[in-house]
Amino acid sequence: MKSMVFYLLAKAYQSVVFIRNYFYDIGLLASVQVNQPSICVGNLSIGGTGKTPMVEKLITMFKAQCSIAVVTRGYKRESTGMIIADKKHGVKDLGDEPFQIWKKFQSDIALIIDANRTRAVNYIYQKHPNCLILFDDAFQHRKIRATVNLLLTTFGNPFFKDDYLPKGSLRDHKNQTARADFLLITKCPQSLTLIDAERFKSELKTPFDQVYFCSLQYEEIRPENLEELCSYQKNELALATGLASTEELEAYLNGMNLNYTLLKFPDHHNYTVKDLETLNTFKCVLTTEKDEVKLSNLKTKMQVIKVAHHFLFNQESEFFEKISAKLNVNLTQ
């Protein structure tokens, strides 16, 4: 009975997002082309594809070539309205992932936090008229149209094998893949072969000219730190995360034969006093950059696991060249 209810709700959701997109397609709902070079990073699902690390990857790729403005809604922030990030703002003002980006790249970017992307873009037109705009998680926000759309989907749960909410994790219609200029398959096994990649591409219902495969690459833990981590018992070492998916991180840590207790919180979790009390009972806490920004009051030792996207088959340079050509403009500082 429950599965039938989920099936019917998923079908209803599918119909709603289809109609919504159709209204944009025929012009019944207004959509405006961004008149500065822009890249939208998004997905069809509710999370877990690695959008924020991809935004960071793009910043790293383009920061030497041009000025950059990043637009993001700041999910679960405690502030409202539009915020132009500066040094006085903390994680509660910006949200966990925007604050993570700001900590890393504040000297390289302008960061605008606003659920109203149109308002954010108008601000950029006035204050940063020659920059590249990066939209974090805006594929489904069709009021604006970016120059380039990057669509992310995971190797383990690609959109064509997924179902619509609430039965699955899809929040947008599968036919929207047609709007993507590049399809990025994320969280691939590092051992993925070209034969495996071609087999995967053959399963795509929509033909894509540009398909790239990426794996998550975790920053190597220093030998002296790893030796200490390996000495802990399970009740002494915790992995605390507020991620949509922890499978890849767990596999990475398990590959180092670490004994730890997994404390898995909801995505974008805001840690409470009680959570911190629990974490402080451990000698050391493993966590992510996304969670670190919300654990500043943690008293026990903390080891942050950093991660980035790695393009497989030596295709990063090709990707950069093709996306630059697609932007088709001269970007200036």
Alpha helices in 214-314 (DSSP H): 223-230, 247-254, 273-279, 289-292
CB 99 within 8 A of CB 293: yes
Residues of the chain falling short of pLDDT 70: 329-333
Q: What is the pLDDT of residue 332?
A: 47
Q: What is the pLDDT of residue 67?
A: 96
Q: What is the pLDDT of residue 2?
A: 75
Q: Which CATH architecture has domain 223-305?
A: 3-Layer(aba) Sandwich (3.40)
- Secondary structure element (H or E) that encloses residue 6, with its range: helix 2-25
Q: What is the pLDDT of residue 331?
A: 54
Q: What is the pLDDT of residue 333?
A: 42
List, in order, residues 6 or more apart from 14 with CB less than 8 Å away: 164, 173
Q: Which CATH superfamily is domain 2-217+311-327 in?
A: P-loop containing nucleotide triphosphate hydrolases (3.40.50.300)
List every span in the chain annotated with CATH 3.40.50.300: 2-217+311-327
CA dihedral 54, 131, 115, 159 (to 10 degrees): -30
**What tokens appear for 173 in the block?**
């219609």
**What tokens appear for 260 in the block?**
């730890």
